[in-house]
Amino acid sequence: MARKDPKKDVVIVGLGWTGAILGMELAQEGLEILALERGEDRDTVPDFKYPNIADELKYGVRYDLMQRPSASTLTIRRTLDETALPYRQLGSFLPGNGVGGAGIHWNGHTWRPQPEELRLRSYTIERFGKQTIPEDMLLEDYPVSYEDLEPHLDRFEHVAGISGQAGNLRGKIIPGGNPFEGARSRDLPLPPMPQTYDANLFAEAAKAMGYHPFPRPGSIASKSYVNEYGMQMGPCNFCGFCERFGCYNYSKGSPQVCILDALKRKPNFSYKTDSEVLRVELAPDKKTATGVSYFDHKAGEEVFQPADLVILCAYSLHNVHLLLLSGIGQPYDPVTGEGVTGRGYAYQMNGGVKLFFKDKHFNPFIGTGSNGMVIDDFGMNQIDYAREGFIGGSYISTGTTNGQPIRSMSLPPGSPAWGQGWKDAVGEWYGHSMSIGSHGSCMSYRNCYLDLDPTYKDRFGRPMMRMTFNWNENDIRMTQFMRVKMEEIAKSLNPDIMQSSFKKSGAMYDVRPYQTTHNVGGNAMGADPKKSVLNRYLQAHDVHNVFVMGAGAFPQNLEYNPTGMVGGLAYWAAHALRTDYLRQPRSLV
Amino acid sequence: MSDQPLSDWKPTRRQFLTATAISTAIGALPLQLYAAQSAAVPLDQYKPEFLNEAEWAFVMAATARLIPSGGNGPGAHEAHVPVFIDRQLAGKYGEASDWYMEGPHDPSADPALGYQTPLTPAQIYRQGIKEINTWCTNKHGKQFAELEPAQQDDVLTGLQKGDVKLPAELRDFFTLLLGNTKEGYFADPMYGGNHKMLAWSYIGFPGARASFKEWADQYNVAYPLGPVSISGERA
C-alpha cells in the first residue's frame, strides 16, 4: 500500500530552471507548493566549490553532475526497422540530475527565437510556397507569437543575468548587436564580456566579408548583478570550467544562483530530493489529475502526493516519458501519423571547421561558457528556402571555452592517435587551434518520435522510453550550405591547416560523441489537439490541471540553444496560471 | 617549445592570492587525499589494487607504446599512467556503476548505438588482456609484455584497426585502453597519473588555476604560469 501524503495545491516535478521559476511565481500567489526532485540536493557550496570543481576527469569525463544511466535512461534506434538499444553510457546528450538540473552544467548561451521561427509553417508557405515543405516534415507554427512571448523572454533574461549586446531595441537596429533578431523591449541586463583572441579573429574576418558579428548572449555575469528576486551574481573570471561543471564563482546563471535561495525562504514552498515521480495519477474520467505517485528513495517506499495542479518541470525527455506512462495524450504512431504524445522529437544540426596556426597562442583554458562572437547572417530568416532547397538556418560562432586537455585536444588531420607521433602532436598543437562552429535548426519528421520501448524496463519495472531519430536530408543540406560559408571565412584567416566536420548525405545518428543536450519535442504545443499535447499556455489539451514546461513543447527545434525560449515559455505559462487559471481552473483555450 | 610555462616565475600579488585560496581550500580536503599523495611511490614499487601480475605487465608495456618515454614530453610511465588505470579499474568506473548494464545485450550491434557489451570496463580489461596474450603466444610464442616494441606496436595497431580480432563483448578494449591512457596522462594527479603534473607542464595547461580574468583579452600571448593541482601542488 502506497503512503498517502497530505494534499498540496501544487506539485512540481523536477527542480531545475522551470521548476524554480514556476515555484517562485506560484509561491507569490500564496499556494502550498511541493517540488519533487528525483536527484540529490546541490548548492554552490559545497558542491561546486573551488578547487574541487576544477576536475576535468570527475565532471567533464565521468559526468558526475549528470543523470546516471544506471538510474534512468532510454533506448535509441535510428529507423523504424532497427531494434532500439539502451543508451547505456552517456555520449550524444547529457541530461542533468539533482536540484538545478541541467541548469547547473550548461554553458549559459541564452537566445530568443526569431519571430519567423514561431510561425515557421505560415512563414514558409507565404514566402516560398507550400511545395518547399518536404512530404515527411511535420512543420508547424508555434501557437504563440513573438509579441506574446517578448515580455517573458525579457523577464527570463533579467532573472538569469544575460551579458550581451542588443541588436534590435524596439525596432531600432543597434550597431554591434544582432541586426536579424526580433525587437527587444529593453536592453540586456549586463554588457558583453571581453572576447578572447579566436573570437576577435573570427569577428574581424566576418566583418571584412560584410557580415554582422556580435557577442554571444550568455547567462554569464560580466559585472556584479542583482536580479528581481534579490539574487546576486559576481563577475566571471574566465575560469574555463563551465560546460559540465557547476560555477564556483556565482557567475553562471543557474537555478541556485538566480532563484533557489530566494524561493527556499518562502514558507509555502518546500521541496523533497531523492523523490522520483513515477506517473501522474488521473481521475477516473481522465480529464483531471489527482496528483502524482513517486518513489521516496530515502524512505524506500512509493508515495501518493495529491495536488490540485501538477506541473511537469523535468528534463524534456523525462516529461514525455511521464506523459506516456500516465496516459496523457494519445501516443503517436508513425505508421498512421495519428496520436500526439511523442510526436515530433527533434535535435540540433551542428558543424564545425578547425583552424590550426603554428604561430598563434589561444590559451584554450581561458574562457567563459558563453565566450564568443557570432554571426546570424545565415539564420532562419535570412535563407531563401526555395532557392537553397532546405528549410532551416544556423548561427555561426567562434569562442574558446572548456579547453581542458582530456576532451579538448584538437590535432591536425592525419595526426597519429597514439605513440611518439601523438605525443609530439599534443606538445606542438595544444593551444594552437581555434574553431568556427555552426549551430542550426533541426526540423521534426514523421519518423522521428518517442514512445515506450517494448523490451527494456527501468529500475521500477516501467517500460523505458524509446527514441527513434535519424538525421534528415533537409537538415544535412542546411549544414552543407553552412560549410561553404564557414570555409570561406576560415580560409580568409590563412590557417596553416584546416579541417571541416559536417554531416554528409546519408549520415546516421551516432550516440557516442557528445553533440548537444538540446533534445526537443515530443509534447508539442499547438493549436490543433490532433497534432499537439499542449495548448498555447503549456496546458495539456486533455487534462487541464497538468502543465508541462520545457523544450518538449517545441513543435520543431529552433536554430538556437533552447534555454532562453524555455525560460520565456515558463514565465508565459506562469503568467497565464497567475492571472487566469487560478481564478477559474479549466482549459484556457 | 615556445609555449612551455616558465619554471622560475616570480610571484605576483595575484598569484599570492591564488595560492592563499588554494591553501584555504586544502584545509578542507579530506585526510585520505593526503594519504594518497604521500603514497605516490615510484612506479616500480606500486602495488596494484585491481590488476594481477600479468595484467599489470600488459598495462605497463602497452601504455609505454601508446605514450612512449623519450623525445619531447613525459611518457606514460613518467606520468604514472598505469597507476591511474589500475585505480580507475578498482573503483566505480571499473564496475560501470553509473551505466545501465541490464540485458538483453547485443554486443554485435552497430557501434554507433554505443556501449552494448554485458561486461564492465574491469571485466573487459581482464578478459581482453588474456585474449591478447593468448594471441601473442600463438603468433610469437611470448606474451605481449615480452615482445619487442615494434611487435607490440603491430599488435596495438592490429587491435586499433580490428585486424587482431577480439570477441564482440571485448571489441571496445582498445578504445578503453587508449582513452584511459590519455585520461591518466592529463587528469589531476590525485587520481594517480599525471605524476608531478608533467603532462600539464609539457603542453602548457595550468591545471586547476581557474582564474584568468585579466588574461582573456591579451591576444596571442602564451600564458606564462605553470600548473597547480587540486591538492595545491605546483610545477
Q: What is the pLDDT of residues B194-222, one digit of tens each?
A: 999 999 999 999 999 999 999 999 999 99
Once rounded to an integer, what is the mean pLDDT over residues A27-45? 98
> Which residues of chain B does A248 touch, with a Cβ-Cβ cutoff of 8 Å?
210
Q: Which of B186, B216, B96 is nearest to A400 (CA)?
A: B216
Please tell me which residue of chain B has the smallest CA distance to A195: B217
Chain A: closest CA distance from residue B206 (Å): 8
Question: Given an 8 Å threshold on Cβ–Cβ distance, is B210 in contact with A50?
Answer: yes
What is the pLDDT, as a whole number, of residue B34?
42
What is the pLDDT, as a whole number, of residue A2?
85
Q: Where are the domains of chain B?
A: 1-39+204-235, 50-100+114-201
Q: How far is CA B199 from CA A32, A175, B221, in A?
A: 55, 45, 21
Instruction: Identify the helix (H) or strand (E) that includes residue A570.
Output: helix A563-576
Q: Does A510 touch chain B (CB under 8 A)?
A: yes
Q: Catalytic residue at A105?
A: no
Bigger pLDDT: B33 vs B124: B124
Thinking of the domain A3-581, which architecture would CATH place it in?
3-Layer(bba) Sandwich (3.50)
Once rounded to an integer, what is the mean pLDDT over residues A363-385? 97
Which pLDDT band, with edges at 50, 70 and 90, does A1 fall under? low
| A77 has a pLDDT exceeding 60 | yes
Question: Given an 8 Å threshold on Cβ–Cβ distance, is B188 in contact with A57?
Answer: yes
Bridge partners, A137 (sequence order): A445
**Burial class, A205, CB count within 10 angstroms (exposed 0-12 / middle 13-18 / buried 19+):** buried
Tell me which residue in A51, A240, A455 faces B230 most closely, judged by beta carbons: A51
| B5 has a pLDDT exceeding 80 | no
* Alpha carbon distance A182, A173 (integer Å): 10
> Which residues of chain B does A250 touch, with a Cβ-Cβ cutoff of 8 Å?
none
* Alpha carbon distance B11, B16 (integer Å): 6
| B6 has a pLDDT exceeding 80 | no
What is the pLDDT, as a whole number, of residue B22?
42
Which pLDDT band, with edges at 50, 70 and 90, does A402 fall under? confident
Q: How far is CA A369 from CA A385, A449, B4, in A?
A: 32, 31, 26
Q: Where are the beta strands (DSSP E) in A359-432?
A: 373-375, 394-398
Q: What percentage of chain A reaches a pLDDT higher than 70?
A: 100
Once rounded to an integer, what is the mean pLDDT over residues A413-426? 98
Question: Given an 8 Å threshold on Cβ–Cβ distance, is A365 in contact with B223?
Answer: yes
Q: Does B216 touch chain A (CB under 8 A)?
A: yes
Q: How many CB pairs under 8 A join A and B?
A: 196
> Which residues of chain B does A203 touch, with a Cβ-Cβ cutoff of 8 Å?
none
In contact, A196 and A361? CB cutoff 8 Å? no
Q: What pLDDT digit, counting tens, does each position of B18-77 carry?
A: 444 444 444 444 444 444 444 579 999 999 999 999 999 999 999 999 999 999 999 999
Q: Which of A459, A449, A473, A400 is nearest to A135 (CA)?
A: A473
| B116 has a pLDDT exceeding 70 | yes
Q: Enumerate residues 64 to 83 of chain B having a beta carbon within 8 A of any beta carbon in chain A.
A: 65-68, 70-73, 75
Q: Which of A72, A538, A487 is nearest to A321 (CA)?
A: A72
Among A504-513, A530-539, B1-10, B48-57, the minimum mean pLDDT is found in B1-10
Q: Does B17 touch chain A (CB under 8 A)?
A: no
What is the pLDDT, as a whole number, of residue B14?
40
Q: Is the dihedral of CA A449, A450, A452, A454 positive or negative?
A: positive
Once rounded to an integer, what is the mean pLDDT over residues A485-503? 98
Q: Enumerate residues 27 to 56 of chain B having a beta carbon within 8 A of any beta carbon in chain A.
A: none
Chain A: closest CA distance from residue B71 (Å): 8
Q: What ipTM was reported for this prediction?
A: 0.96
Once rounded to an integer, what is the mean pLDDT over residues A180-204? 98
Residue A306 backbone phi and psi in degrees, to 5: -70, 145
Cis previous bond, A51, omega within 30: yes
What is the pLDDT, as a whole number, of residue A401?
85
Q: Which of B22, B44, B180 is nearest to A57 (CA)?
A: B180
Q: How far is CA A88 from CA A73, A78, A245, in A?
A: 7, 16, 22
Q: Does B158 touch chain A (CB under 8 A)?
A: no
Q: What pLDDT digit, counting tens, does each position of A125-152 carry?
A: 999 999 999 999 999 999 999 999 999 9
Q: Does B85 touch chain A (CB under 8 A)?
A: no
Chain A: closest CA distance from residue B183 (Å): 6
Helices B173-186 and B81-90, packing angle to 10 deg: 120
| B9 has a pLDDT exceeding 60 | no
Q: Does A87 touch chain B (CB under 8 A)?
A: yes
| A283 has a pLDDT exceeding 70 | yes
Question: Given an 8 Å threshold on Cβ–Cβ distance, is B25 in contact with A240?
Answer: no
What is the pLDDT, as a whole number, of residue B39?
53
* Alpha carbon distance A151, A19 (integer Å): 19
CB atoms within 10 A of CB A335: 8
Q: What integer best gives the mean pLDDT of chain A?
A: 98
Instruction: Say which of A109, A518, A541, A544 is annotated catalytic.
Output: A518
Q: What integer best gives the mean pLDDT of chain B?
A: 88
Q: Where are the domains of chain A?
A: 3-581
Please tell me which residue of chain A has the smallest CA distance to B118: A88
Tell me which residue in B67, B97, B106 faces A423 most closely, judged by beta carbons: B67
- pTM of the full predicted structure? 0.94
